Amino acid sequence: MTDNDISFGVHAVQALLESHPDQIMEIWFQKGRRGGRVEKLIEEARDSGIPVKFVDRDRIERKAGSEQQGAVHQGVLALVRAAKVYRENDLFALLDELDKPPFLLILDSITDPHNLGACMRSADAAGVQAVIVARDKSAPLNSTARKVACGAAETVPLITVTNLARTMRDLQERGIWLIGAAGEASSNIYTTDLNGSVGIVMGAEGSGLRRLTREHCDALVHIPMVGSVSSLNVSVATGICLFEALRQRTQH
């Protein structure tokens, strides 16, 4: 059983149980830890035919990764089937099957699993059809990312590519307009047309988009800010960009 095969925390396991119960092999509950949400989860798991096991706290903490993570598992841990790994060929097969204009999220050098999970969660909520990352410049879709994603890791394909710039060129050849977020850009996200076939490109907090990634964007935009801080967390910025695109794409 690898780190990719677990999900922990009441909310994360609840979301997984509601969206993909077939992915859950077994759920562990901490002995002696009960309460309304936990009782409801136990009942739903049993109703779905999922085996339930009551174990000591330290066993859950060992499986969750470390004692430092013990405060967030909330006494609940699910053993799940590993998330499918998607590659370049899967991306273009997915695009060929779409019956609506592509809406993609490209993440450049997002190496924090918490940020990856939060971006996946926003992508799912905004209707993104796939999230694309570079194989060597991305956080893994591990248990931490899956917990933060709250089920989105099972609904939105995370596609790992070997060369992000090359994949971006391939997407452009398919008529997909790539919009990169950059603080110094003159255009802003709210005045940019995000309808049609679009990919939103986000870089790491602080360093932003890498040079090659930036050069392969069709346009760069910034998020207007009026406060004293100079930047936003990448997952927050991603959510803003995706939901502005969703607003535009659903107002007609």
235 and 118 Cβ atoms separated by less than 8 Å: yes
Task: State both tokens at 184.
Answer: 């110094």
- Helix boundaries (H) for 127-206: 143-149, 164-173
Q: Is 227 one of the annotated binding-site residues?
A: no
What are the CB-based long-range contacts (under 8 Å, 24+) for 210-213?
Answer: 210/108, 210/109, 210/137, 212/164, 212/165, 213/106, 213/108, 213/164, 213/165, 213/168, 213/180
3-state secondary structure of 64: helix
What are the CB-based long-range contacts (under 8 Å, 24+) for 162-167?
Answer: 162/88, 162/134, 162/135, 163/134, 164/106, 164/108, 164/132, 164/133, 164/134, 164/137, 164/212, 164/213, 165/212, 165/213, 165/215, 165/216, 167/88, 167/91, 167/132
Task: State both tokens at 1.
Answer: 């059983």
Q: Is 36 one of the annotated binding-site residues?
A: no
181 and 237 Cβ atoms separated by less than 8 Å: yes
Q: Is 203 one of the annotated binding-site residues?
A: yes
Bind-site residues for S-adenosyl-L-methionine: 203, 223, 232
Bind-site residues: 203, 223, 232
